[in-house]
Amino acid sequence: MGKKYFIFPVSYDRFDFGRLFSECTDGKTNILWAKNKTEPKNIEVGDICYLYYTNLPDRTSRIILRGEITDTEAIDTDESTCYAISKLRTINWENSPKWDFTYKNLSNKYNVKMNLNKRQLKDERDGDKELINKLEKYYNDRRTKKLSLEELSNEFERKLRCALDGKPGDIKKHATFTGRNGLDYYETHHLIKRSICKKAPSLEEYVYDERNLVLLCPACHKEIHYGKKERVRKMLERLYKKNVDFYDSNIQKYTNGKSILEWLFDMYDVK
């Protein structure tokens, strides 16, 4: 019997990335993944698992890591029984609209219903078979960016920073704290506020577009909502300029003749 394919759903907010990056076993060739009673009973050595992370900072979902089961009865330091998974690498990292592994597409395009439990992808299901083929195609395509765990850790370090901080590569200045997932904590902010969708439903696709989402440290996130008007205007201008082409090409027609910034100042009541 050939190898089988499984999806392991994981919450970005709750999963311990710190342990993933620092406590790999066997000289960082394997990681240990705790087993539970609700999982499929037929996971075997040699099977492939896709670690599917939900609630990423841009509030989309992406299948990030692909690995191979090397042991189904590995024992962790707390004496729990685990899967040992090796050869973990990303299938995709850059969160771009071209990737079709969103939660919505898994459900609507491939008919793969996700929940909190691991599930098997089966060749006899049309949607499952198509998804396996697409995932394996991306994984084996040399043109797609794939990262080792060490490289993924470096990418998190580089990209997880306040959008009102310095440029990637600069020393981080905005204070935050380590979250339960072992990573620096930042909050997602919609530059065009979600509340506008009630008055203008046609704006919804742009409001939830990842180009409208920015990461802010807790202090900046509070300040952009409650800070002094002059300061908030400057913050809005900086964030707008980060994706000026997106806003100018898609939003200008909704502003009733106002500039994008004037429109945003009205939205935030900081004229």
> What are 86's two structure tokens?
């090796």
Q: Which strand (E) or helix (H) includes residue 53?
A: strand 48-54
Q: What is the pLDDT of residues 5-25, one digit of tens each?
A: 998 888 888 888 888 887 654
Average pLDDT of the chain is 85
Bridge-partner residues for 7, per DSSP? Answer: 50, 119
Give residue 141's pLDDT: 84
Give residue 239's pLDDT: 96
Q: Which domains does the chain have, with CATH numbers?
A: 5-159 (3.10.590), 187-267 (no CATH)
244/166: higher pLDDT: 244
> Where residue 53 falls among pLDDT bands split at 50, 70, 90?
confident
Beta-strand relationship, 48-54 and 5-11: parallel
Q: Are 180 and 127 in contact (CB under 8 A)?
A: no
Residue 192 has pLDDT above 90, yes or no: yes
Q: Are 210 and 243 in contact (CB under 8 A)?
A: no
Give residue 100's pLDDT: 67
- Range of weakest confidence among 38-47, 104-113, 201-210, 256-265: 104-113
> What are 9's two structure tokens?
């759903």
70/158: higher pLDDT: 70
What pTM value is reported for the model? 0.79
- Range of weakest confidence among 120-129, 202-211, 216-225: 120-129
Q: What is the pLDDT of residues 101-145, one digit of tens each?
A: 777 777 788 877 766 567 888 877 778 888 898 888 888 888 777
Q: How far apart are CA 260 and CA 240, in angstroms?
A: 8
Give residue 21's pLDDT: 82
Residue 264 has pLDDT above 90, yes or no: yes
Give residue 149's pLDDT: 84
Q: How far apart are CA 13 and CA 24, in angstroms?
A: 20
The CA-CA-CA angle for residues 161, 165, 170, to 5°, reads 80
> What are 146's two structure tokens?
């794939």
Q: Are 221 and 190 in contact (CB under 8 A)?
A: no
> Where residue 219 falls among pLDDT bands split at 50, 70, 90?
very high
Residue 35 has pLDDT above 90, yes or no: no
Over range 74-91, report the average pLDDT.
88
Q: What length is written for the chain?
A: 271
> Where residue 97 falls among pLDDT bands split at 50, 70, 90?
very low
- Range of weakest confidence among 117-121, 163-167, 245-249, 260-264: 117-121
The CA-CA-CA angle for residues 52, 55, 56, to 5°, reads 80
Residue 156 has pLDDT above 90, yes or no: no
Cα torsion 90, 94, 98, 100: sign: positive
